[in-house]
Structure 1
Amino acid sequence: MPTETFEFQVEARQLLQLMIHSVYSNKDVFLRELVSNASDALDKLRLEKLRDDALDADVSDLHIEIDVDKEARTLTVRDNGIGMSYDEVGKLIGTIANSGTATFLQDLKEAKDAAGAEGLIGQFGVGFYSGFMAADEVTLVTRRAGESQGTRWTSRGEATYTLETVADAPQGTSVTLHLKPADPENQLHDYTSPWKIREIVKRYSDFITWPIRMVPEAAAPSDGDAEGDGDTAPEPETLNSMKALRARSRDEVSDDEYHELYKHISHDWREPLETIRLQAEGTFEYQALLFVPSHAPQDLFARDFKRGVQLYVKRVFIMDDCEALLPPYLRFVKGVVDAADLSLNVSREILQQDRHIRMMQRRLTKKVLSTVKEFMTKDSDRYATFWREFGTVVKEGLLTDTENRDAILAASSFATTHADDEPTTLAQYVERMKDGQDDIYYITGESRQSIENSPHMEAFRDKGIEVLLLTDPVDEVWVDAVGEYRGKGLRSVTKGEIDLAADGDEKAGEEREKQAEDYAGLLGWMREQLDEDIKEVRLSARLTVSAACVVSDSHDLTPALENMYRAMGQEVPRTKRILELNPGHPLVKGLNQAYKEREDRAELAESADLLHTLAVLAEGGQPKDPARFVKLVADRLERTL
C-alpha cells in the first residue's frame, strides 16, 4: 500500500500547536507519558495471550527499551507489546475522540500557570502528543500482535500526517522523536544524555512493573583491539526497580512515588487529594492502593465515562477499569487492587457474581467513605475541596446504596440559611433545631439565589428557622428516598401544609379560624375558576410578604422532578398543584372584598388568573399562555395610567 497523507482533526491540530509552542515548562513529562503508553501495551498483550493461547505473539521477554542516538539526535521508546493495526493507528493517533474537546482546549489556552496546563493535558489523556514538545518530527512504527504487516505513522505536528504499511516491523510499537536542536545554555533538557534519561525514569516510572532498559552507545575500540576485534555488544541497563508500590511497606514509599503512580494510571498530572492503602489478610488476601483525585474530570457525568480501578491477580494485570470493585457513585476513585485468590481467566461477567469481589467492594467502599469522614473532622480545607468536586456524584449513593446510606449522610454537607458560605451536616442541623421542631426543612431549586428569594421561605425567614438549600439535580430525588435522619423527617418547604405557629398559640388559632370563614367564598370560587390548573385554593401560613404561592401536595412529584423524568423519556402525568393565598396581603384582601361586593366577575376572574400566574413565575415556572398573560398585564397597566 502506498504512503497516504491525512489531515489531522481540527481539535488534534489545535492541540499539537499548543504542544509545539510549549504550553508548560516541564518538558520531561513527555518521556513519562510514552513509557506509560508502552507499559499499557505490554499489560494488554499479556492479558490477551492469557485469554487466547493460540495468539501468535512472543511474550517471553516483555520489556520497554529506550534508545538514544546523540549524533542523529533521536530518542526512541520501544515496546514489544500488543501493537496497533493500520486502522487503529489512524483512529487513535490522528483524532481526539472525547466529549468536551472544545471546552478542554479553551481551558488549556486559559490555564494561568504551568501546573494547571499539565493537569488539563493529563486529564484529557493525550500524552502521545506531548512528544512534540521535545521533537520536530515523530515517527511511530507498530505491528499488532498476531498480524503480519506493520504500520508507519509520521508527522511534523503540523496539518497532516502520513500512514504506510511496512513489511518488517517487529511486534509492538516504537516511537522515535527527532529531537529539536540542542540548547547549549540549557543542558537540563538534553534528552540524548543517558543521565537525563535515568533521572526521568527514576523520578516518574520507577514503579512500572516491566523492565525499562536503556541501550548505552557502543564504546570506542580500545588501543589493544585491532579494529574493535573482540568487542561485545553493550549490556542494556535496567533503569527501574519494577517493585510495585502496593507491595512495599508504607515506610519504603515516598508521597512523590505514590503521586507518580496515580498520574500513571489516571493520566492526571495533578497530585491526588488523598492516597488510601488497604491490605486484607486471612481467608481472602488482597492489596489495594486507591487515590482520591483533587479535581473532577470533565466527563464525570458522561455516559461513556470509564470508571473502575485496575485489577491484578497475583501481580498479573487483568483489566484496566474493573467496575465491580467500587460502586458507580465512587467512579472518580482511581487505583490498583491486587488479589491473591482469583482466577487469571476471570471475566467481567464472572466478576459481577464473584463472592470475593463483592467482599472487596464492600470493604473498599467503606474505606473510601471513612476517609472522606476523616477529611470532614480533621482537615476542613481538604474536605471542602472534595465536596466541591465530588459531592454531587457521592449523593447518588443515597439512592443506590442503602447499606452505606448512613455513612454517606455522615460524610455529606449542604448549603443552609444558617450561614452564607459554610455548609452544614445533618447532625449539625439537628443540634441547632428549635424547641418543638420535628422536621429538617429543605428547599430544592436551580440556584441558591433563586430559592433563597422564593416566597416559600418567607415564614421560615421570619421565624428564624433554618432551611437546607439544595441545588443539585440529584437532591430532588434522594430526599424522598431517605425520608428521615435520626428520627427527624426531611420535609420540603414547598410541599404540604406548613404551620410554624407555636403550639398552644390560641390567639393565632382563633385568627386562622376567622380568616378561613371570611375567605371561604373566594377560595371556593377561585377553585372553580382555576380548575384546569389547580386542585385546591387555601390560605397560607408560609407567606408573610408575597400575595400567593403554589405548592405541591405532600406526596406529589415536584415540577422539577416531573421534568427530570420526562427528560429521561418516562411518561409522567401532569400533577395539579395547590394555590395558597396570603390573607394579610393588600392584593388578596382587595380580591376578597371585590368578590363579596359581587363586582364584575369577568374582571375578577382575570385577577385570579393573574395571581396564579404570578405565583408560578415566583418559583421559576412559566405561564401556561405567555401571550395572554402579557396582554392581561398590559391592559391592567393601561387602566392605572
Structure 2
Amino acid sequence: MEHAFKVDLRGIIDLLSNHLYADPSVFLRELLQNSVDAITAREHLGAAFEPAITALLHRAEGQLPRLEFRDNGVGLTEAEVHEFLATIGRSSKRISEARDTFLGQFGIGLLSCFMVSGEIEVTTQSAAGGPPVRWLAQADGTYTVEILPPQEQLQPGTTVILHAREDTDFYFEYDELRGALLNYGQLLPYPVHVSDGQQYEHVNAVLPPWLAFAAGDISKREEVLAYVKRELDLEAFDVLPLGGEGSKVSGVALILPYSTQSGSRQWHQVYLKRMLLGNDARNLLPEWAFFVRCLINVEGLRPTASREAFYEDDALSAARESLDAQLRAYIEQLAQRDPARLEAFIALHHLPIKALAIENDDFYRLLIHEFTFETSTGRLKLGEYVQREHLIRIVTNLDQFRQIAQIAGAYGHSVINAVYTYDVPLLRKYTGIMGKELEIVDAQSYAMTLENVNTGGLNEFLARANQVLKALGCEVTIKRFAPAALPALLIVTEEQRQLGDIQAAREVADDLFAEFLDEYEQEYQLVRVSQLHLNLDHPLIQELLHVQAPEVFSRLVQMLYVQAHLLSHQPMRSQELGLLGAGLGDMMRWGIQVARQETLN
C-alpha cells in the first residue's frame, strides 16, 4: 500500500530560518524573485505593459506594520494557486520552456515569509483570464482559497500581504525595507519602488557604474573606483573588467590595497540574473586569487536551494576557468605595459603571485625575474641577481644566513636568504626551466672556503684560547678572511642551535621536564658544535697573539666570542650574558686603572 508523506510546516519553517537562509531579510529577496519571474513570464506572452514592482508599508497607531508587495506579472489562476502555492517544492517555473530565464527553481521561496509574519496573504489575477483569487496561509500549515468577484479594472499581477510580528517589526521599518530592497534588487531590470505613504524611492533608478565598465565602457573606471570607495569603504589598488562575449560571468575584480593570505575569508557580491545572491560565494573564483574581491553577475549557473552559492558542475567549472584566465591576463598585461605598477602589485600580493608562478610555467617565465629576494648584498630582483652571479647560492636557515652574510659580500658572493614562503621551490624551479646552477650552502661549508693559516707557530696560542672556550663547547681556529675589519667569525652548527634551545628551556623548566631535557642535552654535547674563527688580518688579533697575562688573555678571548655571537644574531644564553657583564666590568676597571696611573704620572 502506498502512503503519502506528511509535511510539518512548522518544522519546514524552522529549517528555512535556522539552516537554509542566513538572514531573515531574505524574504524580501524571495518576494523580488517571484515578482521578477512573474513579469518575465508575462513578457513571454507578448503582452505590452510597463513592468513594476512596488513595496508599500502601512502603519497605524497601536498596530504592528503591514507590508504590501505588488507586481504586475503573469499572476495565477485558481488551479495554479492550489498547485504551486500550496505544494512545497513545486515551482511554477517548471511549466515554462524558458526556465533558464527565471530566478526561482525550488518552490520554497514564499515560505521564507513565515520567518517574519504569522500568515501570508496572496491576491492574484492571472493574465490568462478568470476571476482573481485570494490565498491565505497560516504558519500551522493550513490555508484557504477564496474566489473574488470579477473586477474589470483589476490588472494581471500579484499582491503579497505580510503582517509583522512583535519580534520581527524591525524588518518592516522604512529604512530597513528600503536598504534590503536596494541590496537585493539594485541591478534588477524592472523598476522597484518603495513607499510608506510619506517617503518614496525608486530604489534601482540609478545602476552602479561597474555594470557599464564590465560591458566595455572603460571611461567608467574612475567612477567605479569612487563607487567602491563610497559604498564598500575600499580604496582598491586597481579594478579590471570581467566577462566578455558569450561569457556567463560579467563584473569587475577589485585588487585589494592590502596583503592577504591564502585561505583568508573572501567576500564577493555575486548576482544571479541581476539578483543578489550573497556576499560569500567562495566557490566561484580560483583559490589562488585571494587578493581580489569581485562584483559579479552570472547567467546560466545553478544556485543551491538557499540561492547563496552555486552547484559544482561543468558550468561553474567553466566560469571559474574563465575568471582564472582573465586574472592571469591582467598580471601579464602589467608585466608588459606597466613594470612600475607590476612591482607595486607584487609588493602587495607576493604570496599568491608566487604560488601561481610555481604552479604555472608560462606565468613563472613571465614574472620570476621580477621577484625580489633578500641577499647578503641587499634586496635584489632575481633578474639582477642572475646577471651578476654565475650560480644561485641559497641558504635555507635564517641563523645560517646571518652568519654567512658577514663575509659573503666581502668576497663578492651574493647569497640568497631563501627562508620565506615559496622561496625554495621558486629558486629550484629556476634550475629546471632556466638552466642556472643552484647551490645550497650553510655556515660550516662556507667557512671551509676561508683561507687557512699555517699555525705551526701558533699552537700554544690556540691551546690557550681553546682552553678558555672549552666550557662553551667552542673550538678556536685561525683564518684569514674579509672584511679585514671583522676580528672574529662564529660558526654555529644546527646541533649548537638545538643545544642552545635546550639549555634555554632547562633554565625555566620544572624538575620533571628538566630531566627529559638533560637526556637530549647529553646527546648534543657529544658533538664539537661551534667554531670561532679569528681573523689574522685584524690588528686586534695580531696584538692578542702577544698577550701573556692569563686573566687579560682569557677575558679578551671571551669578549671576542661574545662579540661574534652578537654579530651572528644568535640568542644569548645565560652563559653569554654572564660573560658580557663580567667582560664589560673588567674593561671599565682596567680603564679606570689606566686613568689613575696617567694621573699619578
Normalised by the length of structure 1, the TM-score is: 0.49
Distance 1:380 1:494, change over 3 A: same
The answer as to 2:580 corresponding to 1:629 is yes
1:358-386: per-residue Cα shift (whole Å, max 9, x none)? Answer: 77666645654553454344324423432
Contact kept in structure 1, 2:209 and 2:223, CA below 8 Å: no
Quote how far apart the aligned CAs of 1:234 are: 9.4
SS at match of 1:497: helix
Per-residue CA deviation, residues 486-509 of structure 1 (Å, 9 max, x unaligned), is: 3446668873433798xxxxxxx9
- SS of match in other structure, 1:250: coil
User: Of residues 267, 273, 277 in structure 1, which corresponds to 2:242?
Assistant: 277
Change (3 A) 1:462 1:543: closer
| Deviations 1:249-305, CA, capped at 9 Å, x for gaps | 31477213433564478531x3542425354969xx545631213x217xx46x995
Distance 1:561 1:491 in 2: 28
User: In structure 2, what is the Cα distance between the partners aligned to 1:557 and 1:482?
Assistant: 27
Map of 1:534-553 to 2, 5 A cutoff? 538=477, 539=479, 541=481, 543-551=483-491
- Matched residues in 2 for 1:79 and 1:461: separation? 78
Task: Letter of the 2:344 partner, please give it.
Answer: T
Counterpart in the other structure of 2:423: 479
- In the alignment, which of 375, 379, 384 is matched to residue 334 of structure 2? 375
CA deviation map 1:446-476 (0-9, x unaligned): 9xxxx9xx774454444555566x6xxx954
Question: Per-residue deviation at 1:426?
Answer: 0.9
**2:445 match: secondary structure:** coil
Percent identical pairs in the alignment equals 14
**Number of aligned positions between the proteins:** 427
Is the CA contact 1:413–1:425 (under 8 Å) kept in the aligned structure 2? yes
Task: Say whether 1:389 aligns with 2:348.
Answer: yes
Q: Which amino acid aligns with 2:291?
A: F
Tell me which residue corresponds to 2:85. none
Q: How does 1:545-624 map to 2 (within 5 A)?
A: 545-551=485-491, 578-591=531-544, 600=550, 604-624=553-573
Contact 2:214 2:243 in 1 (8 A): no
Report if aligned partners of 2:394, 2:441 keep a CA contact under 8 Å in 1. Answer: yes
Task: Tell me how far apart the structure 2 counterparts of residues 355 and 556 of structure 1 sit (CA, whole Å).
Answer: 56
* 8 Å CA contact retained: 1:373, 1:411: no
Task: Indicate conservation of the 8 Å contact 2:453/2:480, yes or no.
Answer: no
Report if the CA contact (8 A) 1:476-1:560 is conserved.
no
Distance 1:518 1:358 in 2: 76
The answer to whether 1:296 aligns with 2:252 is no
Amino acid at match of 2:445: E
Contact map agreement 1:276 1:290 (CA 8 A) in 2: yes
- Aligned: 1:250 with 2:205: no
Q: Structure 1 residues 432, 167: closer, same or farther in 2, change over 3 A?
A: closer
Is this contact kept in 2: 1:459–1:500, CA < 8 A? Answer: no
Distance 1:320 1:411, change over 3 A: farther
Q: How does 1:7-86 map to 2 (within 5 A)?
A: 51=20, 57=27, 59-61=30-32
Q: For residues 345-367 of structure 1, give each alpha carbon's deviation from its aligned partner in whole angstroms, at most 9, with x where no partner exists.
A: 18999989877767766664565
Mapped to 2, the partners of 1:254 and 1:243 lie a distance apart of: 6
Q: Which residues in structure 2 correspond to 1:186-335 (within 5 Å)?
A: 208-209=187-188, 213=192, 238-241=204-207, 245=211, 249-251=215-217, 254-259=220-225, 262-263=228-229, 266-268=232-234, 270-279=235-244, 286-287=249-250, 289-293=252-256, 295-296=257-258, 300=260, 306-312=265-271, 317-325=276-284, 330-335=289-294
Partner of 1:498: helix, strand, or coil?
A: helix
Partner of 1:428: 384
Alpha-carbon distance in structure 2 between the residues aligned to 1:479 and 1:559: 28
TM norm structure 2: 0.52
Note closer, same or farther for the CA distance 1:260–1:547 as it changes in structure 2 (3 Å cut). same
**Counterpart of 1:479 in structure 2: which amino acid?**
D
8 Å CA contact retained: 2:285, 2:320: yes
Q: Tell me what 1:175 maps to.
A: 175
| Structure 1 residue 171: Cα displacement | 3.9
For structure 2, the 5+ residue unaligned runs are: 1-15, 36-52, 57-66, 70-111, 119-164, 503-515, 595-601
Code of the residue aligned with 1:291 in structure 2: it is L
Give the distance between the partners of 2:206 and 2:19, measured in 1 at CA: 25
**Unaligned regions of 5+ residues in structure 1, if any?**
1-46, 68-77, 81-142, 150-164, 178-196, 220-232, 502-508, 563-570
What is the letter of the counterpart of residue 582 of structure 1? N
Equivalence map 1:91-130=2 (5 Å): none
Going from structure 1 to structure 2, the CA distance change for 1:255 and 1:604 (only over 3 Å counts) comes to same
Alpha-carbon offset, residue 169 of structure 1: 2.6
| Superposition deviation, residue 333 in structure 1 | 1.2
Correspondence for 1:224: none
AA aligned opposite 1:258: V
1:611 shift after superposition: 1.9
Deviation of 1:430 after TM superposition, in Å, equals 1.0
**Does the C-alpha gap of structure 1 residues 479 and 489 become closer, same or farther in structure 2, counting only changes over 3 Å?**
farther
Structure 1 residue matching 2:169: 3-state secondary structure: coil
How many angstroms apart in 1 are the aligned matches of 2:395 and 2:187?
A: 50
Alpha-carbon shift at residue 240 of structure 1 (Å): 2.7
**Secondary structure of the corresponding residue to residue 343 of structure 1:** coil
Number of the residue aligned with 1:495 = 443
Q: Counterpart amino acid of 2:255?
A: V
Calculate the aligned-residue CA RMSD, in Å: 6.1
Deviation at 1:239, TM superposition (A): 0.9
Q: How far apart in 1 are the matches of 2:456 and 2:308?
A: 67
Q: Which residue of 1 aligns with 2:589?
A: 638
Q: 1:442 to 1:622 in 2, by over 3 A?
A: closer
Pair 1:390–1:240, CA change in 2 (3 A): same
